[in-house]
Every structure is written in C-alpha cells, then in structure tokens.
Structure 1
Amino acid sequence: MAAHRSIVETEKAVQSKLAGFQLQREQMAAVANIHRAAAVVRQHLENSVLRPWDLTWTGFVVLWVLWIWGETETRHVAEEAGMSKGTLTGVSRTLESRGLVVRSTHPHDGRRVLLALTADGERLMEQLFPAFNTEEAFVVARLTSEECLALADSLRSVVAQLEELGEERRMELLDGAPPAPRRSGRRPRT
C-alpha cells in the first residue's frame, strides 16, 4: 500500500506516467488540483473545526444550506449540498435526532418534505461558523486577498461552465442517453 504522497511527488509521477500521451496537461493539472484541494480542505476542516462539534462535512453542509436559505424542500437541500436525496435522508435524520433540524410536510403537497434549522441549529451555526471561517483563512493563508478573489473568480468560472453547458455536453457524450444509474462499489455476484 502506498504512503501519502505530496502534491509535488504526485505531479512528477503523473508527468512520468503520461509522457507519451497527447493531453491537455494544463487543464488536467487544474482539474486534478481542484479535486485534491477540495479533499484536503474538507479533511482539514472536518478534523480541526467540525469534529469537536460532532459534525461531519456532509452534516455541516446541510446545516449551512438551511442556515443561509431557511426552510427548504429536501430535494433542493440535496441539490444545494451536492448529495443524493437518500444521503440527505440519513444526514437529516441524524441532525434531527440531535435537535438541530426539523422535518415537516410541505403545506401544499403532502408527498414533499421541508427541512429547517431549529433554534439550537441556529445557535450552533452562529457559534461554529466564526471558527470555521478562521480555518478557511488559515487554509488560504499563503494567498493575498487579491489572489483569493482571483481564485474564487476562477472557480466560479468552472462552476458556471458546468451549470451552463454541462448537461448539453453530457447529452453529446452519451448520444442523448440518460446517465447510467449510480452504483455502490459492490457488484452483483455471478
């Protein structure tokens, strides 16, 4: 099993492995580093700020969405949080059992469910978020304020590309077919 590798070691290994391929290397590096940065930032924030509050990243993101938007239909919370409705169900039940969120039936459609923060959930976010933001500042401490804004703008452009053209591109790549259903890592026994 391989040990943890630094970003420099990883980049050198990738360059060596892919030397014979005709690739768009700058774009590959950008996407790879988006992924790597997101993973290490998430891990750092979970281990430093969220764990003392007994929160996972996913739980925090659900609380954040509800804190910012207020009472929201579950399908919209799942979409905003970047998770499936099934994952949201488990996370919201955990948060509800801790008294941080409350579920209610949609007033116009009994099949739909709304989520909202409780007063305890509001207080938790008001106490937690300043510490979370302090760690956000730590994470980007090597960047100037101007570099932070430039990075944010660049990442916003990546998001906009996919929001505006991603579905069209997916349809093109799959010849109009719907994407295959998501599967866990398990495969049926043969």
Structure 2
Amino acid sequence: MSGRITTLCTAFGVVIAAVGLYLPYKNEVNAALYQREFLTGKWSTDAEYIINSGDLGLDKPQSIMTIQLFVDEDGSIDGEFISEGLCDAMPLTWNITFNSGSPSLINFIFARKFQIRQLVNGAMDKSPVVATLKLVDEDHKHNSIVFDVVNDSTGTLPKQITLAKNLPKFEENYKYLQGYCANSTEKMYEKMMPEIRKLNKG
C-alpha cells in the first residue's frame, strides 16, 4: 500500500511541476500549438506557375484539392475540404467540413488529427466522420503542409496529401471544384428521378 501511495504522490508531483512550468509560458506554448497565423488560410495542391514546386513538395502528381482553414481562439480548427472524389462520393451536398479539436501538449509528440465530415440533417458537429487525416509535416519556410490519410470510407483520397498556401491558382481551382460538385449533385438527382417517378406511379 505504501508503495502505491508513493507512486501516486510522485505522479502528482510530476503533474504539479509540469503545470508550474506551463503556466508562466502559457501564451508562448499555446501559440506554438495553435499556429493560428500559419494554418489559417487557403491551401491547395495545384502548383502551376510555381517555379520551385519541388521545394513545396508539389512536384508529384496530385488531383486538384482545396482546403480552407480558420483557427479559432481555443486552437480548434474549422475548415472546408473539396475534391472531385469527395463530391462524387457524397453528392447529396458538397458542404464538406475539415475540422480539428483544440490541441493539447501531447500534440508536440503525436501528430494532430483532422476529420472530414459531410452535413447531415442540418447538424455538422454530429455528422459522421467520413475520413481522418493527420498532419505529419509543416514547412514554414515554403508554406506547405503534408497530411497522411489514416482512414477514408469514401475510398477517394490518396495515402498522402501535400498542399501549399496561397497558390496562384487557388481561386480558379476552387471555382472549378464548386462547379464540379454542383454537377455531381445534379447527376445524382437525374439518376434518382426515374425511380421516383416509378414510385409515384405505383
């Protein structure tokens, strides 16, 4: 019993010491965790017009993908992820979010995870997760990031995705994907209409 008490006291002492070290540097630690300025913005995969695409990690073939991120006050992230594959897999609506909860000190060691969700019944936070990614690399010099795909129920995402911030073709790519997603929804309804008409006749 005394050994267990000693262990508990030691663990408690470590926690107290860690908190004591954390509090004086709370703002600096949170800034390093949240990375508000770095992560907030428009990210994409199309490096056309970029002469040093290799420095950004965008010198390998990738489909067009766009991500918009906004880091909240608590460090959590709200965003949007669009690609042709995701829109084809989820044509009911192309309101596809890309979110991450508020990070903790453990994220200095373990990669931060992000979830892709699609709006269902007007409740995004309660919508099922269709894919999980983890942020495995950040290049602050070249404004690029790398995600590993942990799981993907849509089967449309590659194993790894590299994106860079504020690329010249972002707006053009975003507009293209919006149109593509709208067509995916339209095609879905076109396929459904014959069945709906049959049901109405019956």
TM-score range, shorter chain: under 0.3
Higher relative contact order (CA 8 A, sep 6+): 2
Q: Give 1 or 2 for the bigger CA radius of gyration.
A: 2
**Which has the larger share of helix?**
1
TM-score normalised by L of structure 1: 0.25
